[in-house]
Amino acid sequence: MRFLTAGESHGPKLSAIVEGFPANLPIDKERMTAELLKRQGGYGRGRRMQIEKDTFQFGSGVRHGKTLGSPIMLEITNDDFKHWSKIMGSEPLTAEEEASMKRVITKPRPGHADLVGGMKYNVRDLRNVLERSSARETASRVAVGALCKELLHALDIRIFSRVNQIGEVKDDAEYSIEERAGRPDQSSVRMVSEEKTKQAEELIDATKKKGDSIGGIVEVIVENPMPGLGSHVHYDRKLDAKIAGSIVSINAFKGVEFGIGFRAGETPGSEVQDEILYSEEYGYYRRTNNLGGFEGGMTTGMPIIVKAVMKPIPTLYKPLFSVDINTKESFKATIERSDACAVPAASVVCEHMVAIEMAGAILDKFPHDDFIELESAVAQYKQRLGEY
Ligand code: EPS
């Protein structure tokens, strides 16, 4: 399976094409739309999210509620484009229009792609860079991930996410899997605890008031993955590596951990490795899950537990020093609108990037022209594992 996304933040639409998906997979479009709406939510989002209502259309690949096996096109309209049609239109401008063009961006924002992107692509209106580097693009990825979640759902693999930390507010008690799966959807910041939700909201309010932004840590859990997805035989087939790469590809993500993650650096080996046990009922399983569901780049069958850190959004109301690319003069950057905190939305994006990698690993391992064929190959594989 492979996919591409296209689209600028204030352009007419965002789109994605997914190729290599099996035929005959039932699709619940409403369930997919709910995922997109989840990404738009979260305390701390700016005014843009009041303009957009991210629904999507299938442009191809799905007929009568089932996939065809052909490329699947997913399209999301940018409602904000109507306010930007001149600035973001594809038609050439007249010399007069060009001279009177407002909103030419020559002041790169620290922490964004603006300056390096402008230098590399040789453009002097930095809008040509920031339109694509904007986190708006993650809406297309969530659409692709939601499609992948349809495949995981049909194979009885569950995936969910939550926010563990925003700034210094940590929601890090030992919650059950059920609490971690259900409660975040009820919280404005996708946390499990109501008390921590309130504290995080207060922190976001205070941060916003100061014109600042705040980051945090998110967690994704995959429940019931079959063992043996990914492979130990080659670096680029290791599934944990692919997941890590996918997560760091999300705007503002700076690090990834599996299981106990960085704590493994300070813990003796005998306390880190997960001891192997066997029972008639479950087959092989691990006493603990410190390694977060991976050994040798392959799923062990234990839940996959991934944590990731997001830096504070670099679009700040609080001015930071930068340099104008025309005048070379130092200035203090100011902006029109921004999210003070997008960690809750980013947890949804992370979940969907993990879903994409999981679906990719399943489609790599099993025949997948036809979903029915794939399903029976998975059942046979599980039976073979049961006899191992
Ligand atoms: C973003 C700035 C804001 C965010 C945007 C990311 O958009 P705007 O510049 O239109 O006000 O709301 O996020 C999204 C549009 C989204 O869908 O996540 C930025 O500078 O990256």
pLDDT at 43 over 80: yes
Look at 125-134, 186-195, 336-345 and tell me which has the smallest mean pLDDT. 336-345
State the distance from the centre of ligand 1 to the C-alpha of 77, rounded, in angstroms.
14
Which residue has the CA at smallest separation from atom 10 of ligand 1? 48
54 and 76 Cβ atoms separated by less than 8 Å: yes
* E strands present in the chain: 2-6, 13-19, 23-26, 57-60, 62-63, 66-68, 72-77, 158-166, 169-170, 216-223, 253-258, 276-279, 283-286, 294-295, 298-299, 304-310, 321-323, 330-332
CB distance 78 to ligand 1 below 6 Å: no
Query: Residue 319: what residue type?
Result: P
* pLDDT exceeds 90 at position 334: no
Residue 338 banded pLDDT, cuts 50, 70, 90: confident
Q: Does 314 belong to an annotated binding site?
A: yes
Sign of the dihedral through C-alpha 236, 242, 244, 247 = positive
Give the CB-side neighbour count of residue 66, counting CA atoms within 13 A.
Answer: 11
Give the domain extent around 343.
2-386
Judged by phi (left if over 0) then psi (alpha if -120 to 50, else beta), residue 93 lies in beta
Looking at residue 187, its amino acid is S
User: Would the pTM of this model clear 0.85, i.e. be above it?
Assistant: yes
pLDDT for residue 56: 97
First to last CA, the chain: 29
Q: Whose CA is nearest to atom 19 of ligand 1?
A: 134
Alpha carbon of 83 to ligand 1 centroid (Å): 14
Q: Residue 235: give its domain's CATH number.
A: 3.60.150.10
Is residue 314 within 8 Å of 252, Cβ to Cβ? yes
Answer yes or no: is 133 a known binding residue: yes
How distant, in Å, are the alpha carbons of 25, 62, 68, 159 from that of 65? Answer: 8, 6, 10, 22
Cα 69 to averaged position of ligand 1 atoms, centre (Å): 33
Atom of ligand 1 nearest to the CA of 251: 21
Residue 177: other Cβ atoms inside 10 A: 13
Number of domains in the chain: 1
Q: Is 164 in the pocket of ligand 1 (CB under 6 A)?
A: no
Residues 6+ apart with CB under 8 A from 293: 222, 225, 258, 259, 299, 300, 301, 302, 303, 304, 305
- In tens, the pLDDT along 116-154 reads 999 999 999 999 999 999 999 999 999 999 999 999 999
For residues 256 and 219, the answer to whether their CB atoms sit within 8 Å is no
Q: Ligand 1 centre from 134 Cα, in Å?
A: 6
Beta-bridged to residue 58, according to DSSP, are 74
pLDDT above 80 for 336: no
Which residue's C-alpha comes closest to atom 8 of ligand 1? 48
Using the atom order of ligand 1, give the atom closest to the CA of residue 10: 10
Pairing state between β 62-63 and 57-60: unpaired
Give the other-Cβ count within 10 Å of 268's Cβ: 8
Residue 45 is encoded by which pair of tokens?
Answer: 């989002």
Residue 298: the pLDDT is: 98
181 lines ligand 1 (CB under 6 A): no
| Cβ atoms 135, 253 nearer than 8 A | no
Closest residue by Cα to atom 2, ligand 1, is 338
Residues in the chain: 388
337 is in an annotated binding site: yes
Task: Please indicate if the annotation marks 312 as binding a ligand.
Answer: yes
- Range in 9-13, 128-132, 315-319, 349-353 with the lowest mean pLDDT: 315-319
**Could you tell me if residue 192 is left (phi over 0), alpha (psi between -120 and 50 degrees) or otherwise beta?**
alpha
